Structures are given as structure tokens and as C-alpha cells.
Structure 1
């Protein structure tokens, strides 16, 4: 009877792991499977729970660090922001830019809204100095 309860717990923990992807619930599920063996061996409920706790601790201490080394993590390699890529790139003014009014520039085939501290005529080449949300701050080249 208790073996079935451990099996249901293991299945639920695997389902939770599918949504989190952290290995924490997967290791708990593995500990529940180990507790199934204790239940099938006829151990009392308290011994099964003790088996679950010891198995969980052992898996977290020994297996989790190994899994972290084997499976690559995206948190260690941050995704570069588009702003980091655009700063320093050259663009061409499509619509004139003045200090009090934004204009348009063409950068890598895309049209961007751009502002500058000086008047820049249409057709001029500019360099992206800063990116704020969807607006480029440009300077004359």
C-alpha cells in the first residue's frame, strides 16, 4: 500500500520537475523511488520516511554537484543585450535629426528612432553612442 503512495509521490515530483528544470524535484523523486524499495521490503512507515530523508540528503550532497557540472547552465553565460551590440555601429540618417526633435536612422537594414545633441542632415553617417529602449542616441562621425 505504501509503495503505491511513494510511486504517486515520485510521479508528481517528476511532473513538477518538468516545469521547473532545476533537478531539485528530480532528486526528490529518485529518493521516493528508493523509498518504494524500502516499502516493498516490508519496512515500517517510519523507516520508509527515514529512508526518504537519508536518500534525499545523499542525492543532494553527492549527485547534485555532479549534475551541475555535466548539464550546462544558461545562467553562467548571460545573453548579450542588443544595446551592447549596437553601440559603436555606424548608421545613416534617413530623416534629419535636430536637438529638439527625433529623426530616423537606418542601421543594419532597420529604421530606428534617433536623437542627437546637434543638428544632423539627412544622408549623414552617424555612430551609435547609446541605446535607450527603442531610441538611439547618435553622434556625427
Structure 2
């Protein structure tokens, strides 16, 4: 016969491993172990304990998967902070030439910038793309 302590020790191990992995899978197994341990405490037989363990585990997995997917969902459709700079205005603080990068100031931050045309200091530019840590800009048409 499986002992009450056996189920509870397994539950504790599963919960500790869940804390380390954050998979929402081991917590479901831990809940199944706790349910089986409760049945053991009230002297249900081993077959009933194992059956309840399986049922509770499956129910917890089915209920926790949508939550886990929502919490770990890749939010790739959100723009990164740098991507939010596209189509924004900046001011040239060091001349940009087709062969040499310059510097622009955008929202108080200084960025390296490149362009296909020469853009002089104090001219406004529009950020068109981002390439690594450089902004690709064009002169703002007035």
C-alpha cells in the first residue's frame, strides 16, 4: 500500500521542481499527488488513489495550459523600443555623409546615423530603418 507520506513527499518534490522550471506542468502533477495523498489519509485503496492522481493531474494540465501559453506567449508583434523610432524625427548633431556615419539626437538620446545623402548639422531627419545600432535616415522634406 502506498503511504500518505509518499504522496506528500512526491508533491513537495514536484512543486519545488516547478518553482525551478516554471513550466506549469509539474505543479499539475504535484496537485495530483496531493489529491492522492488526501485519499490515502482517509484510507482509500491504492487503485482509487492512483485513479484520482491521474484524473486530477489531467484536469490541472488542461486548465493550466491556456494560462501557461498566455504567460509565456511570444509577443513578437510588439515593437521593440528601437523599432518605435521608425518614422520619427531627429536632429543631426554631427554631419552625415554617404561614406561616413554621423550622429543624430532623438528623444534626448544620441544615435549613430547613416544616409545616402549628405545631411548637415542642425537639419531635421526622418528615421527610415534600423540596421544594428545605426539609424538609417533621410532629410526631412519641409
User: How high is the TM-score relative to the length of structure 2?
Assistant: 0.81
Matched residue, 1:101: 100
User: Are 1:99 and 1:118, in contact at CA under 8 Å, matched by a contact in 2?
Assistant: yes
**2: distance between equivalents of 1:96 and 1:59?**
61
**1: distance between equivalents of 2:127 and 2:33?**
57
Number of aligned residues: 138
Matched residue, 1:126: 125
User: Are 2:92 and 2:125, in contact at CA under 8 Å, matched by a contact in 1?
Assistant: yes
Extract unaligned runs of 5+ from structure 2: none
Helix, strand or coil at the partner of 2:38? helix
Q: How large is the RMSD of aligned CA atoms in angstroms?
A: 2.6
**2: distance between equivalents of 1:117 and 1:2?**
76
Matched residue, 1:7: 8
User: Are 2:28 and 2:58, in contact at CA under 8 Å, matched by a contact in 1?
Assistant: no
Extract unaligned runs of 5+ from structure 1: none
**1: distance between equivalents of 2:101 and 2:14?**
54
User: How high is the TM-score relative to the length of structure 1?
Assistant: 0.81
Matched residue, 1:110: 109
User: Are 1:83 and 1:130, in contact at CA under 8 Å, matched by a contact in 2?
Assistant: no
**2: distance between equivalents of 1:81 and 1:12?**
38
Deviations 1:1-48 (A, max 9, x none): 721121111112212222333432222111110110222233454543
